[in-house]
């Protein structure tokens, strides 16, 4: 089976529809080894999500949120998805690669940092925190789920649009966080679809790194 990654641009869809599509792909990959790895790239209608945690404090007052709340089966605290944000859902069978979730998360961070470098943005990780940052400003959030080593959920990269909805929560449970975007950092307008096309190319090109990790561990 090839270690390639097929990227698909889906446009703007609801969070529920995106979750249903992920669930279907994961189920098919669990039973059919011929189903390849995919990266779903999209925008969501405005929605807040929170991962599987008993600590709901990052929602602040859930009853006062300006957009719907969707509890989901990823890891992590509350975040916001909406227009102007590129969401990526890699559906990857880690049984074909390194079965190491930590290494997978670091791979996503590294690929996003390279993608942002193409826009002249010096994006990096921060010790002890998942995601991608520009100095002390967060530009991309990451939250993944795994079922029998098949990944779902993924990353949210702020391209442009209104960042004000983040102020109604404690994004990713990190107090006093400042969210930023490609447009804010680069000073140039960008569309989510254009960034998605670049993201698909970078993720596909760097996909073999997961296979190299597998070979190293064998």
Catalytic positions, written as ranges: 172
Q: What is the separation of C-alpha 179 from the centre of its chain, rounded to a whole number of angstroms?
A: 15
Q: Look up residue 64 and give its two tokens.
A: 């006062």
- Is residue 165 classed exposed, middle or buried when 0-12, 13-18 and 19+ CB atoms within 10 A define those classes? buried
| Helix %, strand %, coil % of the chain (to 5) | 35, 30, 35
* DSSP assignment of 22-44: HHHHHHHHHH-TTSPEEEEEEEE
Tokens representing residue 28 in the block: 């098919």
Contacts 24+ apart (CB under 8 A), 66-69: 66/165, 66/168, 67/165
Of 53, 55, 140, the C-alpha closest to 105 is: 140
């Amino acid at each position: 089976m090839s270690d390639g990654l097929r990227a698909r641009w889906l446009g703007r869809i609801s969070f529920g529809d995106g979750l249903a599509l992920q669930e279907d792909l994961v189920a098919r990959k669990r039973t059919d080894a011929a189903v390849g790895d995919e990266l779903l790239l999209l925008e969501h209608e405005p929605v807040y999500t929170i991962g599987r945690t008993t600590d709901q404090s990052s929602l602040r007052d859930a009853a006062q949120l300006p957009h719907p709340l969707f509890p989901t089966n990823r890891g992590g605290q509350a975040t916001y998805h909406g227009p102007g944000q590129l969401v990526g859902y890699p559906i990857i069978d880690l049984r074909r690669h390194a079965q190491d979730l930590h290494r997978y998360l670091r791979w996503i961070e590294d690929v996003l940092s390279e993608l942002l470098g193409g826009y002249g943005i010096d994006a990096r990780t921060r010790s002890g925190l998942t995601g991608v940052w520009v100095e002390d400003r967060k530009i991309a959030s990451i939250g993944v789920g795994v079922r029998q080593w098949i990944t779902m959920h993924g990353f949210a990269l702020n391209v442009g649009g209104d960042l004000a909805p983040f102020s109604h929560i404690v994004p990713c449970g990190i107090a006093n966080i400042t969210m930023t975007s490609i447009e804010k950092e680069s000073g140039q307008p960008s569309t989510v679809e254009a960034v998605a096309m670049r993201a698909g190319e970078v993720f596909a090109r760097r996909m073999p790194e997961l296979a190299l990790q597998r070979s190293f561990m064998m």
